[in-house]
Structures are given as structure tokens and as C-alpha cells.
A = this chain, B = another copy of it.
């Protein structure tokens, strides 16, 4: 039987993403709406083990819905991966009379939450906050949409200078294991080729694609490369390869880097965060635990944390095809 929930804790963990603050705000206000107390936990599981908590009421999250990053700060924790670490965390929660925990983060954070739940039978609920969109059980993770807009704006700017100088640009975007950002931003930015970890196109295909693009009359080209692409070369090596093997290209490289994480969240991410916060708190109130809140078919749905972690969202094959057609 689920016990009565009077106080909920919320933390952000792992790499930050835009929309985390909006989710914190939603968790806090939903608690207020239902007459629950809410505590913010600083620096993810680190702060959880240290008992670095702060009471949050509806007013304390004023003016944060449009702020990037996370007011609760985030961290990765090695200690929480140990039984001792998790015991410390549990003790701190009990000490502060916290009855449930909302974890905003990615798959690493969810793994911790799931183990914690199994060990201590403590109610946990996950909200997917990561720009990578690599979580099963939701079509969109918090921060993905905002990151895409940031990347596309950067591509648009680079396109200006690329076409002014008839250059070939390799642009690296985030995505160590998954190519969601690369694929979506590549299509939206009108990239001539997109290299993602899920596909090993090989250098021949890249060469062919660049040659076709030139033949078709394009004087400049943009190739989007996900950090973790499978082609076996990093972006600087790609430049070298083209410099050495293909004549007539003036190649430049740009690594977009950490600015992809920050920035004021898009409307989409703010709305999504607000919906997820409500769903997370109310699911705990309904006695549910060990789930992740997700967006499926435009509705809030629960997925067991275990599935969310294992599943890894698949690359959209239809979108891959759209990309190919657009660069005909």
C-alpha cells in the first residue's frame, strides 16, 4: 500500500537542458495546488546524499519558467552508484520527511532512481530532461526542441558565410550515441549530408554526395556531423580527408558545443515541462512509482523507468528518407 504523500523532493541530475527550470516550477506549483510541501535538492544525487535541501513554495519558483539551466544545479555522482551512497540519500530523505522524489534527468539519472526505488521502496518518478532525445517512452525530452532551434539558428548563420565564400562546412552537433539532433537540425538547416551514429554511410557515400551536390549547381555545402558518428573520423579528420582527397573544396569546421544546452526554453519545452511536472506529482499521489512521464501521441503517459532506460529511442527512418529526398 502506498503511504500518504505529504512532501515531495525534486532534483535535476546529469547534463542540464533547457526546460528543467520550467519542470521544477511545475513540480513545486503542483505540490502547492495539492497542499503538499516541496523541497528542492541541490546538485542532483550529490546534494541528496548531503541533505542539501531547500523548501520551495509557489512563489519561490517565480520568474524561472523562461530561464535555461537549472536553479537546483546539476551534477553527476559516483557515490550514488554505491549502496552506501544510496543509504545516505535515503537517510536524508527520511530525516526531512520527504515521501516521494521527482528526478529530472537522462538515462543515467533514471538508472540511479530505479535502483534506489528497488532498494528502499521509495516512490520515484522520472521526468526526461536531456537535449539528446534518447529516451524511450516519450517523443520529446525536455530541452530537445530548444537545442534544435539553437542549432538551426547557428546553421542559418553559417550558411550565410558558406554561400558567400563557396565553402564546405562540417558542423558538429551534440549526440554521442544518437543522431536525433543531427538529423532534425540537418533537415531543417537544409544540410547536404548528415552523419549520425546510427548509420555508417562510409566516406565514399560522403564523397559521392558532395560531388552530386556540386554537380547540381550548389556552390556551398553544409554537412552536419553528430559527435558520435560512425564514420570513424572526427570532424577535424573529415576536413583533412576532404582536403587531401577531393580537390576544389575550401573546407571549414565548426563545433557548436555547449551553447546547445542553454538558452531560454522554446514554447514547446515550457509547455511540455509544465505538463510533465503536473503528471509526475499527481502520479506519485496516485501511488505510482518507478515510472517516467512522457509525451506520446500528444498525451502524458507513464513508462516504467526500466523500459525508458533500456529502450533508447530509435532514429526516425522516415525522416532519414526525407533528408535524402531533400538533397536530391
Contact residues of A with B, CB < 8 Å?
12, 15-16, 18, 20, 25-26, 29-30, 32-33, 58-59, 62-63, 65-70, 73-75, 139, 145, 148-154, 156-166, 169, 184-185, 187-190, 216-218, 252-264, 266-268, 270-271, 274-275, 278, 296-300, 316, 318-319, 321-322, 325-326, 328
For this chain, the copies found in one complex come to: 4
Docked-complex contact A65 and B29, CB < 8 angstroms: no
A261 partner residues in chain B, CB cutoff 8 A: 157, 160-161
A179 CB, min distance to chain B CBs, angstroms? 14
A24 CB, min distance to chain B CBs, angstroms? 12
A68 CA to B157 CA in the complex, in Å?
Answer: 7
User: What would 13 more interface pairs be, CB under 8 Å, given A25-B326, A187-B271?
Assistant: A20-B164, A73-B165, A74-B165, A75-B165, A150-B157, A157-B262, A158-B262, A159-B262, A160-B262, A254-B258, A255-B255, A256-B259, A275-B319
A28 CB, min distance to chain B CBs, angstroms? 10
Of B62, B74, B187, B270, the residue contacting A270 (CB under 8 A) is B187
Docked-complex contact A149 and B267, CB < 8 angstroms: yes
